[in-house]
């Protein structure tokens, strides 16, 4: 295995970890307005992810930084071509982060209501746009021989990519609802269960449509491993709904997490060794070789990553262990 392949695998792992962890964060934010009947319940919902949401977003920052350093041509083409979509996502994430911090600064209902809406919007927009962005990678976008994106924002919106956006939105919403069944108590946990049941069937349908459309819209099924992982991801989603129906919340959360992880890994497996597919000419696609940094850069990055990544992982595992208990009214500060 050469360093180009190694860094492609590391990026796949980073995005998988990001979608698994930040996915339930998005879901919790999307459900905030619907599950929280009063200020105390909304504070409980926010507190369920309060210690971890910003740490989860570090996975996205790390993935972006690793992409910039290891595959600068991929980074340049992706961020210039998807500029408006990524700008909208960034604005949503900034408002979401500010809302988490500012909400508690004033007790007036109007003040807190405003920030609650921003948490909702700041969670919904990225949950939708990430699905659109990832399906565009595998479907292909107009890239010329100079590695430049030649389309517009509207080029990114097609029936296939919109289905991908809806699927990611529903799966992340289910992920957040399942997380809340594990982190809250009483009436709030029961409402989270009902929300998960409501999101489960549409999520299964959306993912099934996405899988079937992938046969004709992409070349992902040219690789047996990618096809198997995508179908196993669908089976895991069905299994998550089954566990949920029988109130096996922990198993349901794990199964839904497998759906997120396997769907992401399936996409990267289908891409390899490409990183962006050109819809104009397959020969113009970006690969792990024509989009990469120099071998020396990759070597230095590998040494740094092998030294520091285990420390970061250990710290995040410790954080989740410390804040593993359920949240109820007794844990709120007045």
- The per-residue DSSP string of 214-261 comes to HHHH-SGGGSHHHHHHHHHHHHHHHHHHHHHHTT-HHHHHHHHHHHHH
333: in domain:
no
Q: Mind listing the pLDDT tens digit for each residue in 155-167? A: 999 999 999 999 9
Instruction: Tell me what pLDDT residue 333 has.
Output: 56
* CA gap 201, 181 in Å, rounded: 18
Residue 163 placed within a domain? yes
In a domain, 190, yes or no: yes
Average pLDDT over residues 273-293: 93
Q: What pLDDT does 334 receive? A: 45
Helix or strand (DSSP H, E) at 274: strand 274-276
Range(s) of the domain holding residue 183: 3-320
How does pLDDT run across 34-49, given as a tens digit for each residue? 998 888 999 999 999 9
pLDDT digits (tens, 9 = 90+) for 305-321: 889 888 888 988 998 99
Q: 188 in a domain, yes or no? A: yes
260 versus 312: which is more confidently predicted?
260
| Confidence at residue 148, expressed as pLDDT on a 0 to 100 scale | 92
What per-residue confidence (pLDDT) applies to 49?
92
Q: How many domains does the chain have?
A: 1
pLDDT of residue 316: 87
Confidence of residue 260 (pLDDT cuts 50, 70, 90): very high
From 59-63, 218-222, 234-238, 322-326, the region with the lowest mean pLDDT: 218-222
How far is 86 from 82, CA to CA, in rounded Å? 6
Contact 277, 139 (CB under 8 A): yes
* The two structure tokens encoding residue 25: 């964060």
Average pLDDT over residues 3-22: 94
Q: What is the DSSP string of 65-115?
A: HHHHHH-HHHHHHHHHHTHHHHHHHHHHHHHHHHHHHHGGG---HHHHHHH
Question: Quick check: is 125 in a domain?
Answer: yes
Let me know: does 202 contact 170? Beta carbons within 8 Å. Answer: yes
pLDDT at 183 over 80: yes
- Dihedral Cα 248, 253, 257, 258, nearest 10 deg: -10
What is d(CA 152, CA 164) in angstroms, rounded to the nearest whole number? 19
Over 90: is that where the pLDDT of 122 sits? Answer: yes
Residue range 113-134: average pLDDT?
95
Task: Tell me: pLDDT of 220 over 70.
Answer: yes
Report pLDDT for 106.
86
The confidence score (pLDDT) of residue 24 equals 94
State the Cα–Cα distance between residues 282 and 161, nearest whole angstrom. 19
* Locus of tokens 């007045």: 334
Instruction: Judge whether residue 119 has pLDDT over 80.
Output: yes
pLDDT tier at 145 (50, 70, 90 boundaries)? very high
At 93, the pLDDT band (50, 70, 90 cuts) reads very high
Q: Domain with 197 in it: what CATH number?
A: 1.20.1630
**Residue 303 per-residue DSSP state:** H
* Residue 218 is assigned to a structural domain of this protein: yes
Q: Which region among 110-124, 259-273, 307-321 has the lowest average model confidence (pLDDT)?
A: 307-321
Residues 87/88/90/94 CA torsion (nearest 10 deg): 140
Whole-number pLDDT of residue 332 = 64
**For residue 330, is pLDDT > 70?**
no
Q: Averaged over 236-248, what is the pLDDT?
A: 96
Whether residue 331 is contained in a domain is answered as: no
Distance of alpha carbon 35 from alpha carbon 47, whole angstroms: 14
CA–CA dist 254, 250 (Å, integer): 6
The residue that leads in pLDDT, 221 or 129, is 129
- Mean residue pLDDT of the chain comes to 92
Query: Rounded distance, CA 189 to CA 44, Å?
Result: 11
Residue 102 lies in a domain: yes
Burial class (CB in 10 A: 0-12, 13-18, 19+), 97: middle
Going from the C-alpha of 246 to that of each of 41, 129, 233, 235, 252, the distances in angstroms are 25, 32, 20, 17, 9
Torsion of CA 71, 73, 79, 80, to 10 degrees: 180
For 196-219, the pLDDT digits (tens) are 999 999 999 999 999 999 988 887
């Amino acid at each position: 295995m050469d360093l180009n392949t190694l860094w492609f695998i590391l990026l796949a792992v980073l995005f998988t970890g990001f979608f698994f962890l930040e996915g339930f964060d998005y879901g919790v934010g999307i459900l905030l307005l619907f599950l929280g009947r009063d200020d105390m319940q909304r504070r409980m919902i926010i507190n369920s992810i309060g210690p971890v949401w910003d740490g989860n977003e570090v996975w996205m920052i790390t993935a972006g930084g690793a992409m910039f350093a290891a595959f600068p041509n991929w980074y340049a083409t992706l961020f210039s071509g998807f500029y408006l979509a990524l700008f909208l996502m960034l604005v949503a994430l900034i408002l979401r982060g500010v809302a988490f911090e500012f909400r508690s600064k004033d007790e007036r209902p109007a003040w807190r209501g405003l920030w609650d809406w921003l948490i909702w919007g700041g969670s919904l927009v990225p949950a939708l746009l990430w699905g659109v962005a990832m399906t565009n990678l595998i479907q292909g976008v107009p890239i010329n021989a100079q590695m430049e994106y030649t389309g517009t924002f509207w080029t990114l919106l097609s029936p296939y990519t919109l289905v991908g956006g809806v699927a990611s939105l529903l799966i992340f919403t289910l992920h957040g609802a399942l997380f809340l069944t594990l982190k809250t108590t009483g009436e709030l946990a029961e409402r989270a269960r009902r929300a998960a049941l409501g999101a489960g069937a549409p999520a299964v349908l959306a993912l099934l449509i996405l899988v079937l459309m992938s046969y004709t819209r992409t070349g992902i099924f040219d690789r047996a491993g990618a096809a198997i992982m995508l179908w196993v991801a669908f089976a895991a989603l069905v299994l998550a709904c089954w566990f949920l129906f029988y109130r096996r919340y922990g198993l349901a959360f794990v199964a839904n997490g497998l759906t997120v992880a396997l769907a992401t890994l399936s996409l990267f497996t289908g891409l390899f060794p490409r990183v962006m597919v050109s819809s104009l000419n397959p020969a113009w696609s970006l690969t792990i070789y024509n989009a990469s940094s120099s071998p020396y850069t990759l070597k230095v990055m590998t040494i740094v990553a092998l030294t520091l990544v285990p420390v970061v992982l250990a710290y995040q595992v410790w954080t989740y262990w410390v804040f593993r208990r359920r949240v109820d009214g007794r844990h709120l500060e007045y």
